[in-house]
Amino acid sequence: MQYFHLTTHCTLHYKVFAVLLKRSVATLELLLILPATLFMLALFLRNVQPAPYQPAAAARLIVDWFAASPHIGLQLFLITFPFAALILGLTVTLRTWRRDDHLRQKAAATFAAIRAHASFLIIAISTLLAASILSIVALHLLTD
């Protein structure tokens, strides 16, 4: 039976490859959801801003392009790419979760901290939601 000894050089290559792989997957995920995110942002801007402003005009052009090309716009950019990002993300997340004990320990510690400070988090989240709601209402009042 032959044993292989890992050298520092060999383990360093493995770690660099793992980091490069994670960064590549993260970049790919962002690229896959970018068109759908742009479309959703364009829908929002088109409905929030009045027509003469440049962002609203650009948003209208983006929405019109997606509507004019349903095979590319709807099927590819709004369904296939986000679905591929979902499957890829779930696969990498589950694989990493199963293999990384340190990640599971940190997640358990994070959940314990969240549970210990739940009241503060509820107050902070409620405050952010209130600010968001007031911002949306203010934008709506300004555009009407």
Cα-only R_g, the chain: 23
The residue range of the domain holding 44 is 8-99
CA distance 98 to 106: 14
Residue 95 shares a structural domain with residue 110:
no
The whole-number average pLDDT for the span 125-139 is: 93
pTM, to two decimals: 0.67
Closest Cα to residue 102, out of 10, 3, 18, 12?
18
Residue 86 shares a structural domain with residue 27:
yes
Amino acid at 63: V
Read off the pLDDT of residues 29-38 as tens digits, 9 standing for 90 and up.
999 999 999 9
Closest Cα to residue 96, out of 10, 18, 11?
18
The tokens for 123 are: 């107050």
